[in-house]
Chain A
Amino acid sequence: MSSTQQFIDAAKSGKILSRKCKNCGHHHLATVYFCQNCGNREFEDEFLDGQGSIATYTIITVPPAGFDKYTPYAWVVLKLDNSELRVSGFMAGIAKPADLPMGTKAKIVGFDDRGIIIEKE
């Protein structure tokens, strides 16, 4: 199974599959094959909780193909609570900035044809 498929399967159960470098301890999302920090190829898989807070986001009103029926929606960057990692994804039902203050607690709840699905906690 490709690392991308493993990542998707984890996201479907609300988890983020990360890879911790066995040499230097640097964390990456599971789609990486070599350590960005030291170049090592040996990793230890870690399943991280998909909880975090909103690091930044936008509310899309002119969408790419396939997203018309969800518009407006938010595209968000989530900073995970128990890791330095950030993960971005789709959040439904956000129409104005007041709906989503920066730092709002949110979590990964799935993965479908809209990529990683994130919801407010």
Chain B
Amino acid sequence: MSATFVEKVCVIGAGSTKYGKLDDSISDISIQASVDAIGSAGIEPKEIKAGYISNVFGIADKQVHLGPVVMSNLGISERPSLTIESACGSGSISFREAYANVAAGFYDVVLVTGVEKVTHTGTDWTTTYFSYCSDFFYEGQSGASFPGLFASMARAYLTEFKATEEDFAMVAVKNHENGLLNPKAHLRKKISVDDVMNSAVVASPLKLYDCCPFSDGASSVIICSEKFAKDHGKDYIEVIGSGRGGSPAALQGREHLTTIPSTKIAAEAAYKMAGITPKDVDFAEVHDCFTIAEVIDTEDLGFFEKGKGVEAVREGQTKLNGSISINPSGGLKSKGHPIGATGVGQIVEVFDQLTGKAGERTVNDAKIGLTHNFGATGASCAVHLFKSV
């Protein structure tokens, strides 16, 4: 698939609330992140031509149709907005739709905000409602929780390749190390492999510390045409690749249980558009909803051969400033996973890294960053590539 675009697209501003258990309402935090991004971009709200809002469970905080609420509170109620749901991939998939509209020349400046507010509902509610993101007839209906679906991939991986549960635990330890350096992360706590191994089993072989937390949070970016970015004179980064893909909705329909087809399809499209290979990527924010997911992601994205992702973790290659820094923000595991916000939050991290705002967790000399975010077990996926300017 190829497309002819009118405009190159840039990110000129980014903002986020803290991720974690938040007291403010879903509308409040959506607007806080948006205002933060507008401030970062140094623009006026009136310059925004459209809003893309990603969210999954607004119903839990009594607010769906978030788009007009955000726009109204920014004083631009007349502007069009769209609220997008694609499970845990909502944020990056919404970003892609916004990107395509700017690239096509429909709008020159667009707000992309992702949000989730669910922690007040408790573990029973979230476990049950998140299972509705699966192919419910075949999965949720027969008692599959989300940890359970990824646990099934983990068991297949342990059977197929030379890997241990301790290898998966090392992913959690690494992401918590990074998250400790991120003031906005949900779980800012150093943990050990033993802590992971001794934590309660949620869905064998996955334990509590193999799982990302349920989080509240909102993230926002401002994207624009290259012309607007250049005229504006503020720091910006360029979107150099955008890829989307799909997988059979249910795990049972996939040829391999240890790979996620949509990641490969999306990554291939993004690399092709950018004219680069995985070797050119300096760091990546990948979808580590569970430790096994990060291992599979780094293989599917082409950073490591199939079955070698665990070796890379063992050797420390994926640590901050290792051969490729994976999840310098702390990832979903430590930074947190407000599902509708996550994909946008990854882009906020890339913006901060490539414009010198990442503080202690800076990836040295980074020029190209990748974001990878999927819905459910990777039934939907988006991969984006960004370059410093």
Contacts and interface: CB of A to CB of B under 8 A. Distances in A.
Interface residues of B, number: 36
A37 interface: no
A63 B204 contact: no
A116 B253 contact: no
Contacts, number: 99
Interface stretch (B61-69, B94-102, B149-157): B149-157
Interface in A29-78: 29, 31, 36, 55-65, 67, 70, 73, 75, 77
Contacts of A97: 204-205
Given A58-B204, A62-B123, A75 B257 contact: no
A58 B152 contact: yes
A74 B50 CA distance: 47
Contacts of A55: 156, 257
Given A64-B127, A88-B252, A56 B143 contact: no
Interface in B194-232: 200-206
A77 B143 contact: no
B191 interface: no
8 shortest interchain CB distances as A-B pairs: A115-B142, A58-B151, A115-B141, A86-B252, A59-B204, A90-B142, A65-B128, A56-B156
17 contacts: A4-B137, A58-B149, A58-B152, A59-B203, A60-B148, A61-B203, A61-B204, A64-B131, A87-B138, A88-B138, A88-B142, A90-B142, A96-B204, A114-B143, A115-B138, A115-B143, A116-B142
Interface of B: 123-124, 127-128, 131, 137-145, 147-149, 151-153, 155-156, 159, 200-206, 248, 250-253, 257
Given A61-B201, A73-B143, 9 more contacts: A31-B137, A58-B148, A58-B149, A58-B204, A62-B145, A62-B202, A62-B203, A115-B141, A115-B142
